[in-house]
Each structure stands twice: as structure tokens, then as C-alpha cells.
């Protein structure tokens, strides 16, 4: 099995790339960072530190790397069996052109073997969005061939991968938590499902996409935003504060009530899932900074993301949402001079005012009462600060 993974960063090397390597795939990383590509091509291996109660080190061997916009990448796509990504939601459109060129070369070479492409990003139906970008970059004459031979498989991924220690001598070493979850939509594959341990298939992907988005992502973001307000540097420090923990747990329970109503999740099992998430936030071996988790607040406050989408669910089913409102107000309070989105959000707040800015950022024009509630909480937070 020849596998190409776009995105050779920490998540790519420590999560998806590692699972592909463990499945004994012929693994090629593709990235725009030429020094990183050169290092991977030179070393052809790296270490993964799995941290937790049973901490251990695993080595990934026999990997190669190419620049993601190079002719080499296009040639590899023409021969691959599976392509995965961990590049970030905003970069998917940028790699679509390379994928389109690779598929064109694949067609020209007469390679009709099934190819499956899986975007492993923190977003809902990311691969379906990638497919649209790829089709836009392809000649229309190839669309039918792509539909027949190329599977665009949506997935849900979950693993905390913090930045490696700055003092680390090996730039390729990566640290990951023990827990990982990679769930794929089995209905979208072309050909047989590849035998990859750690990749689980389901016919009801959206239930798991929203379970992760409404629990891990919602809780993680609110922990970061409340943590920064309270002056904490890491997720662990923040979640160990009883006041922060109460709101985070309450928000995940509110979003969980939406999931239980929408998908029929067992309430006791979901309560245990929430507890597992809280335990992961407490992991003393992960130095996960609140500024990293909180970055890109405009994306995280957008209509389909981790704060507003579960809020919409509570409104749909007439469920409590007081803690989610606190989390949204805390997100509006996020300040980071190094984050362009945080700077843009601050400008919107200062020029438009809180209510109009939130309405624009989160598409809440139809919910003026909710906007007013969040504004009141936000104003109180600013007064306390």
C-alpha cells in the first residue's frame, strides 16, 4: 500500500502518519516546509513519545518526503493507494491544485486502481469540501472518471498533539497522548477498506463527528479561553481550577444533551466520555498551552464550529445553554497579538461593538436575545479583567 500524507507537522507525524507506517504502508510525507522535507528525506525515521500512565517511545521507520507542490508529489499521487491530510482546514484549498494535477497524471497513465483520499482535519465533512476544491481544479471531462475511481472519504479525528519541547535536539521527534480516534465513513470508499489498525469505519459518521466537535473541541476551546482569562498558561492548569472545570463540564453536558437528543447516544456512556475528555485535559505529561488551543477564534466562533453549532442545537431542542454562553463570551475575550484572527476579532469588537461583532462573526442575526445574553456575560468578564 502506497500512502501519501500531506502535512508533515506534529499531527501528521505523530498521529495519521504513524498509523499508516504501523500498517506497513510505503509512506511519503508531502509538505511545503522544505527544511522539514529535507530532514525527513535524510533521516527516513523519527521518534514518537506517547505520554500518559504507560509512557513509551515508538520509532517510525522507512519514510520519505517530497515538497507538496513538486513534480515528485504529482508523480506519487499518480501511483498512490491512499492519500491523507493533516494540513489545517484553511490549507485544504491550497493543496487541491496539486491533487488535481496528480489525478490528471493518474488518468493519463491509465491507472484505474481505486484511490481513497481522507482529510483528517478538525472540521465537519472536510474531505467533501476538499473534493469540491479538487473538482474545480480539474477539467470537467475528468469528473466522471474521478467519481468512478477516487473515493473522497470524510473522517473524524481525535488526538492531542502539543508542540514538542523547544530544547529537543531532534526536530522530527513528536509527543502525543495515549488516546487516539480516527473514524471514517465506510460508505464513501472505493474498493476495499485498507487494513489500518486504529482506523475505524462507520456508516453514521456525523454522529461521531459531532460527538467529537461538541465534546473534545468545545471543552478544549472553553478551557483555553477561560484559562487565559484566569491567567493560566496551560490546559492542565486551567482545568484543575474548580471554577473553570465547572463551566467546561457544564458546557460539555449541555452540548451532550443535544447529541443524546439528536443521535440517541446512551446518557451514561456519554457521561463517561465527557469524564474521559476531562481526564485527558488533566494529563500532566502534556504541556498544552492555552494560547495554542485558543488560536483562530474567528473560526472557532463561526456558525458551524465548536461553540455556535452546539448552541444552535440547544436552541433547536429547547435545552439549557448557560455554560455554552459563558464559553462564547470567553472566546470573545481571547487576546493574542501573534494571532491574526485574534487581532481581527478585537478590531471588530472595537469598531462594531460586541453585539454587532458577535452577530457578524457567528451568524446569529436570528438570535438577538442570545446575542444580548452573551454580550452581558462578556461585559462582566471585561469589567472583572
Which residues contribute to the annotated binding site for NAD(+)?
3-14
What is each CA distance from 359 to 65, 134, 362, in whole angstroms? 44, 32, 6
Q: Which of 156, 126, 161, 130 is nearest to 50 (CA)?
A: 161
Using CB atoms within 10 A of its CB, is residue 23 exposed (0-12), middle (13-18) or buried (19+)? middle
Residue in the structure block whose three cell numbers are 465537519: 124
What is each CA distance from 163 to 39, 115, 168, 278, 285, in whole angstroms? 18, 32, 11, 20, 12
Q: Which of 315, 300, 316 is nearest to 361 (CA)?
A: 300
User: DSSP string of 88-118?
Assistant: -GGGHHHHHHHHHHHHHHHHHTT--S-EEEE
Which residues sit in the known binding site? 3-14
| Residue pair 305/299 in contact by the 8 Å Cβ criterion | yes
Specify the pairing of strand 155-158 against strand 56-61.
unpaired
Q: Helix and strand tally (H, E) in the chain?
A: 19, 12
CB count within 10 Å of CB 37 equals 21
| Residue pair 147/134 in contact by the 8 Å Cβ criterion | no
| Residue pair 38/71 in contact by the 8 Å Cβ criterion | no
Torsion of CA 6, 35, 17, 10, to 10 degrees: -100
Using CB atoms within 10 A of its CB, is residue 168 exposed (0-12), middle (13-18) or buried (19+)? middle
Amino acid at each position: 500500500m502506497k500512502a501519501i500524507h500531506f502535512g508533515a507537522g506534529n499531527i501528521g507525524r505523530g498521529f495519521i502518519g504513524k498509523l499508516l507506517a504501523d500498517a506497513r504502508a510505503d509512506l511519503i510525507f508531502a509538505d511545503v516546509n522544505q527544511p522539514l522535507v529535507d530532514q525527513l528525506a535524510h533521516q527516513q525515521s523519527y521518534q514518537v513519545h506517547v505520554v500518559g500512565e504507560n509512557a513509551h517511545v515508538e520509532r517510525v521507520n522507512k519514510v520519505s518526503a517530497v515538497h507538496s507542490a513538486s513534480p515528485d508529489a504529482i508523480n506519487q499521487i499518480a501511483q498512490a493507494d491512499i492519500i491523507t491530510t493533516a494540513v489545517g482546514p484553511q490549507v485544504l484549498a491550497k493543496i487541491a491544485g496539486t491533487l488535481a494535477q496528480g489525478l490528471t497524471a493518474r488518468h493519463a497513465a491509465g491507472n484505474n486502481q481505486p484511490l481513497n483520499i481522507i482529510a483528517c482535519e478538525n472540521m465537519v465533512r472536510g474531505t467533501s469540501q476538499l473534493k469540491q476544491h479538487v473538482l474545480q481544479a480539474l477539467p470537467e471531462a475528468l469528473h466522471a472518471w474521478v467519481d468512478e475511481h477516487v473515493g473522497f472519504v470524510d473522517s473524524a479525528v481525535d488526538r492531542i498533539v502539543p508542540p514538542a519541547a523547544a530544547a529537543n535536539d531532534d526536530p522530527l521527534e513528536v509527543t502525543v497522548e495515549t488516546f487516539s480516534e480516527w473514524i471514517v465513513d465506510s460508505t464513501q470508499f472505493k474498493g476495499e477498506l485498507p487494513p489500518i489498525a486504529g482506523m475505524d469505519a462507520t456508516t453514521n459518521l456525523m454522529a461521531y463527528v459531532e460527538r467529537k466537535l461538541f465534546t473534545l473541541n468545545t471543552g478544549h476551546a472553553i478551557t483555553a479561553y477561560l484559562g487565559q482569562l484566569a491567567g493560566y498558561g496551560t490546559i492542565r492548569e486551567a482545568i484543575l481550577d474548580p471554577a473553570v472545570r465547572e463551566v467546561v463540564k457544564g458546557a460539555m453536558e449541555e452540548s451532550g444533551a443535544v447529541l443524546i437528543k439528536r443521535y440517541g447516544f446512551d446518557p451514561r456512556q456519554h457521561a463517561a466520555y465527557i469524564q474521559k475528555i476531562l481526564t485527558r485535559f488533566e494529563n500532566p505529561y502534556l504541556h498544552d498551552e492555552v494560547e495554542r488551543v485558543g488560536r483562530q477564534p474567528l473560526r472557532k466562533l463561526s456558525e458551524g464550529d465548536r461553540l455556535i453549532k452546539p448552541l444552535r442545537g440547544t436552541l433547536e431542542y429547547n435545552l439549557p445553554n448557560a455554560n455554552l454562553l459563558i464559553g462564547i463570551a470567553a472566546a470573545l475575550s481571547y487576546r493574542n497579538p501573534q494571532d491574526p484572527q485574534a487581532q481581527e476579532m478585537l478590531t471588530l469588537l472595537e469598531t462594531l461593538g460586541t453585539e454587532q461583532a458577535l452577530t457578524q462573526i457567528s451568524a446569529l442575526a436570528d438570535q438577538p436575545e442570545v446575542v444580548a445574553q452573551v454580550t452581558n456575560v462578556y461585559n462582566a468578564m471585561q469589567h472583572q479583567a
